[in-house]
Amino acid sequence: MGRRRLPWLALVIVVVAMAWPALRRPPTDGYPLSTYPMFSSDRGPWSEVVTVVGRDPDGAVVRLSPRAIGGTDEPMVAIRTAAIAVGGGHADTYCDEVAGRLGAHPVVVELEVVTERHHAVEYFTAGEDPRERRVHARCAAGGGS
Amino acid sequence: MTAAPTPVAAAAPAAAVRRRTPGYLDPAPPERLATLRILVVGFALGYLVVRTPHLLDVARLADVAPGRFAPVGPLVLLDAPPAPVMVAAVLAVTIAAAAAGLVGWRWRVSGPVTALGFLLLTSHRSSWGQIFHTENLVALHLLVLAASAAADARSLDARRRARTGGAPPVADPRYGWPVRLAAVVVVVAYVLAGWAKLRTGGIDWVTGDALRNHVAHDNLRKALVGDVWSPLGGWAVAHGWVFPPLAAASLAVELAAPVALLGGRWRTGWVLAAWSFHLGVLGLMAILFPYPLLGVAFAPFFALERLGWPPWRRVAGARVAAPR
């Protein structure tokens, strides 16, 4: 192949490959070829988030860490992990899994796998209490239910 | 006898070359491509070292939650997650290859191994239900560099060639087009991100509450799992009027990315705007895009040979068809 053709061929291949996920119907996100869908849809003001919270001896909510909830320091992995566990009907075993990762905690005595429904804007402007709250599982902190 | 060109006569064509938009196949000095190698591979090496604990955490998900494995990229060929020890081995090999690639040692091997290893590791990171979009450009740039003569200068390979009597490389299109291709990769990525917003939300994405809701939603999710969230974003969502201008500016930056290929003030203006855009994302959502924020993503738009090597020494000359 000529010295001048190769660069142009490389250019065409790269551009077509990068655009391909967006040209598919429906567009399909992937890696490293992506549709770059971050923040593109209007998801509305309501957020329903599955997470795990701790309870102190007085019953007050204690927020845990992404590492305790999902096993890594990535918050999005934590959220997906909790959602997949609840969606798959494994909330009880997942609760024990989180308790095992959390280990002994100076304040937390109990864990709850919960779905919290918030108005995302009002959370920051009017208060942090969820509008709805569903508890999927409870277990003792420190490793067992 | 031919008269030597006067300085004025010699300067005029050079100025004309520098003024026009840089062409895809313009010759470039080998130092330009080599410096891009140093920047991109250096970033990848730093990323892998800093993120080693995180990448090993992700690897351990294979033991505790193998059912959550949702492979992307080249890992779609796998039926089950790779064993943690396998991921650790790939990580170690990739870090070693990146260190070799950084100094330009055996680039024909170290370059492809770095690119492939980085692609596998970051694909694995995105294979647990959440695709991350912070490493795409690094992975693609490494692939472009791996297929190029990126260690013909500023490298141990070049030193070895010089010691054995090899002629020093001169300006050539093969040192220019891979850099331009890396710039095109950046442009296409930003345009796709802008296009995704228009395709999904239309002009309502600018005039409505889409961006405000995203800032609120993203910070809320982080707060609910005990992660760092942005107080600035929390404050901003109380002021809805802030977001339509921000949304318009974000969309304009993404869709206007091709102007960066024009060089000169267009390029510099766009790079500053894109960098500010990522600074805004960091400020409002606590989302760090280190590759563009450190400027490495935008390096292919510039005449990198001027940085000099070692970095504390500026190099004179080597200005063939430099992007303005």
Provide the edge-to-edge strand list for the sheet that holds A46-55: A61-63, A46-55, A110-119, A132-140
| Average pLDDT value over all residues in chain A | 91
At B128-144, the pLDDT tens digits run 888 999 999 999 999 99
In single-letter form, the type of residue at position A103 comes to G
Look at the block and give the residue holding tokens 């003001």. A45
pLDDT above 90 for B115: yes
Task: Provide the CB-side half-sphere exposure for B320 (13 A, CA).
Answer: 17
Confirm whether B271 is domain-assigned: yes
Residue B323 pLDDT: 56
Residue-wise pLDDT tens digits, B210-245: 999 999 999 999 999 989 999 999 999 999 999 999
Element spanning B192, H or E: helix B177-201
User: Residue B28 pairs with which residues in a beta bridge?
Assistant: B172
Interface residue B60 vs chain A (CB under 8 A)? yes
**ipTM of the complex in this document:** 0.86
What pLDDT, on a 0 to 100 scale, did the predictor assign at position B294? 97
| Nearby residues of A117 by Cβ (< 8 Å), 6 or more positions away | A46, A47, A48, A130, A131, A132, A133
What is B224-256 written as a DSSP string? HTT----HHHHHHTT-GGGHHHHHHHHHHHHHT
Assess whether B207 and B284 both reside in one domain: yes
Contact B296, B40 (CB under 8 A): yes
Domain match, B140 and B33 both: yes
What does the pLDDT average to over B71-87?
96
Residue listed under structure tokens 């919290």: A116
Task: Return the percentage of chain B with pLDDT > 90, whole number.
Answer: 81
Burial class (CB in 10 A: 0-12, 13-18, 19+), B118: buried
* Residue B26: pLDDT over 70: yes
pLDDT at res. A2: 62
The answer to the question of residue B161 being in a domain is no
Instruction: Tell if the pTM clears 0.90, that is, is over it.
Output: no
- Among B129, B177, B201, beta carbon nearest to A42: B201
Amino acid at A72: T
Q: Give the domain-ending residue among B175, B207, B235.
A: B175
Contact B209 A41 (CB under 8 A): no
- Residues B46 and B147 occupy one common structural domain: yes
If asked whether residues B146 and B196 sit together in one domain, one would say no
pLDDT for A1: 56
Q: Where are the beta strands (DSSP E) in B68-118?
A: none
Same domain, B216 and B274: yes
Inside any domain, residue B160: no
Q: What is the pLDDT confidence band of residue B3, given thresholds at 50, 70 and 90?
A: very low
The answer as to whether B32 is a domain residue is yes
The pLDDT value given to residue B322: 52
Our CA-based measurement puts residue B1 at a distance from the nearest CA of chain A, in whole angstroms, of: 36
B residues 261-320 lying closer than 8 A (beta carbon) to A: none
Whether B235 and B304 map to the same domain: the answer is: yes
CB contact under 8 A, B132 and A31: yes
End-to-end CA distance of chain B, in Å? 36
CA A73 to chain CA mean position, Å: 11
Helix (H) or strand (E) holding A118: strand A110-119
Contact B64, A97 (CB under 8 A): yes
User: For B303-319, what is each residue's pLDDT tens digit?
Assistant: 999 887 666 565 544 44
Burial of B94 (0-12, 13-18, 19+ CB in 10 A): buried
Antiparallel, parallel or unpaired: β A61-63 and A110-119 = unpaired
In whole angstroms, what is the distance from residue B136 CA to residue B126 CA?
11
Domain match, B85 and B198 both: no
pLDDT higher than threshold 50 for residue B94: yes
Question: Domain count of chain B?
Answer: 2
Classified as helix, coil or strand, A136 is strand
Look at residue B89 and tell me if it is in a domain.
yes
3-state secondary structure of B310: coil
Average pLDDT over residues B97-126: 97
Contacts of A41 in chain B (CB under 8 A): 200-201, 210
CA A79 to chain centre: 2
Measured CA angle at A78 (ends B246, A120), to 5 deg: 40
Q: Which domain holds residue B88?
A: 16-153+171-175
Q: Do B226 and B300 fall within a single domain?
A: yes
- The interface residues of chain B toward chain A in range 189-228, judged by CB-CB distance below 8 A, are 189, 192-193, 195-197, 199-201, 204-205, 208-214, 216-217, 219-227
Do residue B239 and residue B133 come from a single domain? no
Supply the pLDDT for residue A52.
96
A111 bridge partner residues = A54, A139
| CB-CB under 8 Å, A66 with B225 | yes
- For tokens 């002994």, name the residue: A104
Indicate the helix (H) or strand (E) that contains B211: helix B210-224
The strand pair at A132-140 and A110-119 is best described as antiparallel
CA distances from A36 to A32, B179, B233 (A): 10, 23, 22
pLDDT recorded at residue B319: 46
d(CA A127, CA A78): 23
Residue keyed to tokens 């802008």:
B194
Q: Which chain B residue shows the shortest CA-CA distance from A4?
A: B25
Percent of chain B whose pLDDT exceeds 70: 89
Question: What pLDDT score was predicted for residue B11?
Answer: 45
> pLDDT class for B20, splitting at 50, 70, 90?
low
Q: Does B246 reach chain A within 8 Å, measured CB to CB?
A: no
What's the pLDDT band for B18 if we cut at 50, 70, 90? Answer: low
Q: Is the dihedral of CA B289, B291, B295, B299 positive or negative?
A: negative
- Averaged pLDDT for residues B76-95: 97
Q: B41-65 pLDDT, tens per residue?
A: 999 999 999 999 999 999 999 998 8
**Among B115, B142, B175, where does a domain finish?**
B175
**HSE, side-chain direction, 13 A CA sphere, residue B166:** 13
Residue at B125 is within a domain: yes
Q: What's the pLDDT at A49?
A: 93
Question: Which of B140, B175, B210 is at the close of a domain?
Answer: B175
Query: Residue B175's pLDDT band (boundaries 50, 70, 90)?
Result: very high
Q: Of residues B81 and A3, which shows the higher confidence score? A: B81
Q: Are residues B212 and B303 in the same domain?
A: yes
In a domain, residue B140? The reply is yes
Residues B92 and B205 in one domain: no
* DSSP annotation of A48: E
Shared domain for B41 and B124, answered yes or no, is yes
Digitized pLDDT (tens) for each residue of chain A, 145 residues in all? 567 789 999 999 999 999 999 998 888 899 999 999 988 888 899 999 999 999 999 999 999 999 999 988 889 889 989 999 999 999 999 999 999 999 888 899 999 999 999 999 999 988 878 889 999 999 999 754 4
* AA identity, residue B206: V
The answer as to whether B39 is a domain residue is yes
Residue A54 in 3-state DSSP?
A: strand
For residue B200, the number of C-alpha atoms closer than 13 Å in the C-beta half-sphere is 23
What span, in angstroms and rounded, lies between the C-alpha atoms of B300 and B175?
A: 12
Which pLDDT does position A144 carry in this prediction? Answer: 43
Identify the CA nearest to B54 among candidates A90, A103, A73, A57: A73
Q: What is the pLDDT of residue A3?
A: 72
Other beta carbons within 10 Å of A74 = 22
String of DSSP letters for B253-292: HHHTGGGGGG-HHHHHHHHHHHHHHHHHHHHHH----HHH
B148 interaction partners in chain A (CB closer than 8 Å): none
Min Cα separation B276/chain A (Å): 17
